[in-house]
Every structure is written in C-alpha cells, then in structure tokens.
Amino acid sequence: MISDYRSQKLSLTLGHLYPDQLNLYGDRGNILTLQRRCQLRGIELRVVGLGVGDALAPDEYDLLFIGGGQDKEQAPVAQDLHEMKGIGMWAAIEDDMPVLAVCGGFQLLAHYYRPAEGPDMRGLGVFDAWTEHKGSQVPRCIGDIAIRWGDQTLVGFENHGGRTYLGTAQPLGRVIKGHGNNAEDHTEGAIYRNAFGTYLHGSLLPKNPHFADYLLELALQRKYNHAESENVPSFNSVATEHGSTVLELPRTSLPSLLAPLDDTLEWEAHASLLERLGLYTEAASVLRAHIDSFRLV
C-alpha cells in the first residue's frame, strides 16, 4: 500500500482504443487533460494507442478510453471489438478497471447500434442498453448539455443521431439542459462497475476536473491499494421521498493519492457553460464551492 503519494513515483498506463478511427469533436482533449493533470502532480501517464488488429491485454493497462466516430468508421471497429479486444475488455471491466467510452464508443459497449441504413452493429453488451438511429427526418441531438452527477454537475457538448435507451443500466446522470441519451427520458450515459458511457465529447474532462480526477483516483486506488480494497468504489442509486432515484457517488475510506490542483480556469469554463444554458443558480453554486474548497487547500 502507498500511504503518501509524495514519497512515491506513481505511474499509470492508459489504453486509447481506436485513436485514428474514433476521434470526433475533440475527444482527444480528454486524453490531454488526463496527461496534464498527472504531469502537474508528478504522476507518469503513458498512453498506448490500440488500433484495429491490436489485441487488448488487460494486465498492461490501468484505464481505458474509447471515443466517438461516424457510422462508416464504427462498423470495422465493432467487428474488431468482438474479434480482437472483446475478451480483454470484459476482463478489464470485470476487474474494475476505469473505462471512459464517449458517443460511438458508448454505443459499441451496449448491446447494439441500429444505423439509419445498413445492418445492426453488434456491441459488447457491457451496458444493458441499445441505440437506434431514426433517420435524417429526426433532428440530431446536438448542442451544449448539463447533467446532474450525484450532487454535482457535468457539462459538455453532444452531437449524435442515435437514440440510446437503457434497460437495467444505471445512467451516468440526469439531464438538466440538453438532450442526453434520447431526448425523451432525461437520462445521460450509462454505468457498469467502473465503466462510464456518455455522449459528452472532448470538452468533458477539460471542463469537469472533478470527473477527470475521479477516473484517475479510481485507477490509482485500483493499482496501488488493490490489496486493501477488494471492492473498488462503484455507483449506487438511492430512492428519494418522491419514489424516484438519484445517483449516490461512491465514497472510499482510503486516502486520496491525488494532490489538489488550482482548477480556477476549469471551474470558470464549467460555470460559463452553465450560464450559457441559462443555469445561473448552478453556475453561482459551482464557483462558490470552488472558492470555498480552494481556501481550504
């Protein structure tokens, strides 16, 4: 076990799946954010690209990322996921490795994606969900979006024609403004163990430092404190007095392995997007919470 991150040289290896095929709307910005946040803390983050034809050996990685792409790019990726990476991906997820899957990556980790034209693309079925594209006559889900993530907010940009519907899967969050999974039921994304699917693109981690650090913390705790924590924290849902459910973020008794950073610019960008969506109360609350927490550092 590591009791003090300052006395140890921490390192992580991130597997970036299909960096050439699935990189729409700045999804690489999520990788750059993780690299920068590690660099500022003296943590080595090695990024390894995994393209079509490359096997995925789960023991070689600490977290995984898969971005979004157009339908024509997703077809060969869907085939490769099953033929080359499926077993390794499942092993990693069942061992609680953190995985972030954005847009097309999210769709391909669910049961299937049904495009407007052509055959269904079979997914891995990690998330109990499915996606259907209803054709060009139905407007795309496009624009800025804000969701409720536990008792906090996540902001980002979405642009997808497919509508995703959840079976028993827990959503990542609830839509405050924007479309989310399907523009119907106010859900956004999906969760299975420490795998997170979402439609929020490359502005996700740059404008949500708390979520970026959450992924890094999960990866570090899994790697360095695995012997003391057999169950890496996972999300739960709790019933409210009105009978609905809300996300309850996991807590861990293990000490954080991440040094605090000055995220003033990130939180200002987060609040600015909330303001652009007309969520002025939420924006003020975010800035107030950041100021209060920074004073405690």
Catalytic residue among 16, 133, 179, 201: 201
Report residue 200 as tokens.
């929020």
Catalytic residue among 103, 141, 179, 270: 103
3-state SS class at 250: coil
With beta carbons less than 8 A apart as the criterion, state whether 196 and 144 touch: no
With beta carbons less than 8 A apart as the criterion, state whether 89 and 73 touch: no
186 φ/ψ sector (left φ>0, alpha ψ -120 to 50, else beta): left
Q: Is 291 exposed, middle or buried (0-12, 13-18, 19+ CB in 10 A)?
A: exposed
3-state SS class at 63: strand
Instruction: Report how far residue 77's alpha carbon sits from residue 108's, in angstroms, rounded to the nearest whole number.
Output: 9
Instruction: Report how far residue 13's alpha carbon sits from residue 17's, in angstroms, rounded to the nearest whole number.
Output: 13
Provide CB contacts within 8 A for 288, sequence distance 6+.
none
Cα four-point dihedral sign 266, 285, 238, 155: negative
Concerning whether 201 is annotated as a catalytic residue, the answer is: yes
CA dihedral 95, 248, 288, 155 (to 10 degrees): 60
Q: Which residues are annotated as a binding site?
A: 140
Q: Which residues are annotated as a binding site for substrate?
A: 140
Report residue 180 as tokens.
């989310």
Active site residues: 103, 201
